[in-house]
Structure 1
Amino acid sequence: MTHILAAGDHFVAASLFIDAIRARAPREDLTFSSITLPWPHTPFGPIGSVHEASGSVPELIDALAGARIAVTQMAPFTAEVFAHAPDLRLISVCRGGPVNVDLEAATQAGVVVSFAPARNAVAAAEFAVGLMLSAMRRIVTTDSELKAGNWRGDYYAFENTGLELDGATVGLIGYGAIGRIVARILLAFGTTVLAYDPYANPAALAADGVEVVDLEDLLRRSSVVSLHARLTAETHHLLNAENLALLPHGAVLVNSARGGLLDYAPLPDLLRSGRLGALALDVYDVEPPPPEWPLFSAPNVVMTPHLAGATQQTAHRAASIVSADIARYLTGEKPLHVANPLVLDTLAETARP
């Protein structure tokens, strides 16, 4: 028998995992147990050596008793967990990256870690375009004004009106799965799309109708800039006071990717000076932002609480992607999306006669 722990939460429930695995691997030798982690009702955060995790290490250790496979979105797989889970051989994390797993400890323990790339790409791309439109057309600001009893007809004055996507130039920083979908949507609006991504294939971008440029050129030419890069040591504060000054006066900036990509300190002054015409944010350098955060009182800011990937389709897609890799593992195939392939190489070497 192979025992599987489904560590779900209030977005991707344990039952979604179990149903998806049973559909992909209809075997009689599988047994299941489950726990429900408190996210998103309780914010995620660092736990031990991992980031963006939910729940507790002792709870997870107890739940893993006898489990050979674990599937989760947020459970904290720290070095301590691996030390107390000798039967564990596979963890499937239904996120774009397994940031809640100590990969070094997993590799040392001989545990394969799989993940779910692009699970929320459609949701995040649609949300980013929604943020653009909300910021460019003052949708959130005027909604709040009207609900407060203020009929702001002065927003029809030329200097207060918004911008259209048709004919605009939008710069995308990062052109992975999400950036590519954003570009496709924007091109349908009649937008000129620029992209900066050192790792992208220029020929592929050209085939998509997107112009590849360097970062400075993108910032100088774009009336709207949207972030879609991964956060690494290399991309931390990729946009900062120095290069944000290159933006055209009145430009719109959107960040629905990662808070660390953007230096938030200069943004209030850029908004008040008009260098930034509007700012739309779904992610922050500190989540949630503190009550005294300067951007709460800055003009023309749209803010949402890290919701870009929050759709029912994302939850189902996430469970489907990881269950497919679990099914491959159960039949002796290599999972497609492995964060520590060295473990697979070691297992293959050990299995040789």
Structure 2
Amino acid sequence: MNNPVPETNNPVRVLAAGDHFVVPPLISRALADEVREREVSVRELTLPWPLEAFGPVAEVEEASGSEDGLIEALADDREVLVTQMAPVTERVLESAPRLRLVVVCRGGPVNVNLDAARIHDVRVSYAPGRNAAATAEFAVGLLLSTLRRIPQAHNLLAGQGSWQGATYYTYEHSGLELEDLPVGLVGYGAVGSRVARVLCAFGAQVMVYDPYVRGEIHGLRVSSLDELLRRSRVITLHARLTPETRGLIGSRELALLPRGSVVVNAARGPLLDEGALCDALESGQLSAAGLDTYEREPVPEGSRLFGLGDRVVMTPHLGGAARAVAEKAARIAAEEVGRWVRGKPLAHQLT
């Protein structure tokens, strides 16, 4: 691929297309810190996410803002685009002939048409691992909240001034404690491995199913998903979403769990069949579920999940919502721009 670095006599022209999480000044400051040896001309653009939900834009998924707005911002021969959510479509790439590098401040460039980027000689890089610690912490918090009914008790006392939350102290309604609890992890990547370490510290009986991971793990490795499900009182999902894992946990899998088990998903919504989950919660096969991600986001009005009462804890995809994540994303992106400016190989290049 012919992607020359900019001429040393000219400033590096960058569009920092941030949003209300990875804010443009974070990107600009990270670039100034990283590319000290060169003048950098940064134009800032603020996209509406997360104040407005992301969604498909033209042929790309999970994007924020419009093609027209991005094309206008790139119009004065910007060579580098650093963004989290901008829709880098075929039309955008055709309209930005001087663009040579796109760095996406997230774990995967789903908002970039990679085929079109190859055709237009544009390198695409991303920021893996930026939210692994935050998501792992959130997953453990969601697990604890679901097991111990923390949000439900808070809503009764703080929201309604009612002491009826004390019913969660009755034997019938009391929650599960992590110590000695058989907890199954589906996936042992950057997030799952951190969750496993934390749960081991709590004294849980941690079991892991991940056919792609070799070497030592925290907890007991099991050879099949079915075995993990039969032996776990709680499962928490940490697998990547691929064609193979879409719908990984459905009616058959939920039926393998001991009755009254708990499911937590802070990974990707489509790993879990929501209809099957609702059936299992309504029948008592599951006693509770904790969800941060969903098959459709935002969750559509009229979803069965909203009628499950205190059997489900729901948060609006907040696993990565920590300030350090935005700071790490901007820093990783700036480091990639620095490598490109110096003519070095990119660390996280996809095209």
How do 1:187-198 and structure 2 match up within 5 A? 187-198=200-211
Match of 1:162, SS? coil
Which letter maps to 2:290? A
Which letter maps to 2:55? G
1:320 aligned residue: 331
2:67 aligned residue: 57
- Aligned to 2:161, which of 139, 149, 165? 149
Shift of 1:132: 0.5
Which letter maps to 2:81? A
Looking at structure 1, the residues matched to 129 and 232 of structure 2 have their Cα atoms a distance apart, in angstroms, of: 26
- Aligned to 1:179, which of 159, 176, 192? 192
How do 1:207-226 and structure 2 match up within 5 A? 208-226=218-236
1:85 aligned residue: 96
Shift of 1:193: 1.3
Looking at structure 1, the residues matched to 161 and 285 of structure 2 have their Cα atoms a distance apart, in angstroms, of: 30
Shift of 1:223: 1.0
Looking at structure 2, the residues matched to 142 and 4 of structure 1 have their Cα atoms a distance apart, in angstroms, of: 49
1:70 aligned residue: 81
Looking at structure 2, the residues matched to 164 and 154 of structure 1 have their Cα atoms a distance apart, in angstroms, of: 17
Number of residue pairs matched?
Answer: 337
- TM-score where L is the length of structure 1: 0.93
The answer for unaligned runs of 5 or more in structure 1 is 341-353
Q: Are the equivalent residues in 2 in contact too, given 1:183–1:210 (CA < 8 A)?
A: no
1:204 aligned residue: 216
1:8 aligned residue: 18
Q: Deviations over 1:50-102 (max 9, x none)?
A: 11100000111111121111100000000111111110111000100011001
Q: Deviations over 1:21-44 (max 9, x none)?
A: 111111343211111000011100
Match of 2:216, SS? helix
Q: Please state if 1:301 is matched with 2:319.
A: no
Q: Please state if 1:268 is matched with 2:278.
A: yes
Match of 2:65, SS? coil
**Please, which moves more after superposition, 147-156 or 233-242?**
147-156
Structure 1 residues 62 and 243: alpha-carbon distance in aligned structure 2, compared to 1, 3 A threshold: same
Q: Are the equivalent residues in 1 in contact too, given 2:250–2:277 (CA < 8 A)?
A: no
2:183 aligned residue: 170
Q: Please state if 1:27 is matched with 2:37.
A: yes
Q: Deviations over 1:239-271 (max 9, x none)?
A: 001111101111110111111111000222211
Shift of 1:290: 1.9
Which letter maps to 1:236? R
Q: Are the equivalent residues in 1 in contact too, given 2:208–2:219 (CA < 8 A)?
A: no
Match of 1:31, SS? strand
How do 1:69-148 and structure 2 match up within 5 A? 69-146=80-157, 147-148=159-160
Match of 1:279, SS? strand
1:290 aligned residue: 300
Q: Are the equivalent residues in 1 in contact too, given 2:82–2:104 (CA < 8 A)?
A: yes
Looking at structure 2, the residues matched to 148 and 220 of structure 1 have their Cα atoms a distance apart, in angstroms, of: 39
Shift of 1:204: 2.7
Looking at structure 2, the residues matched to 212 and 23 of structure 1 have their Cα atoms a distance apart, in angstroms, of: 46
What percentage of residue pairs aligned between the two structures are identical?
50
Q: Please state if 1:46 is matched with 2:56.
A: yes
Looking at structure 2, the residues matched to 49 and 196 of structure 1 have their Cα atoms a distance apart, in angstroms, of: 34
Looking at structure 1, the residues matched to 223 and 177 of structure 2 have their Cα atoms a distance apart, in angstroms, of: 23
Cα RMSD (Å): 1.1
- TM-score where L is the length of structure 2: 0.94
2:6 aligned residue: none
Q: Are the equivalent residues in 2 in contact too, given 1:171–1:225 (CA < 8 A)?
A: yes
Looking at structure 2, the residues matched to 218 and 311 of structure 1 have their Cα atoms a distance apart, in angstroms, of: 31
Q: Please state if 1:161 is matched with 2:174.
A: yes
Runs of 4+ residues deviating >6 angstroms: none
Q: Deviations over 1:117-140 (max 9, x none)?
A: 110001000000001000100111
Which letter maps to 2:27? F
Shift of 1:107: 1.1
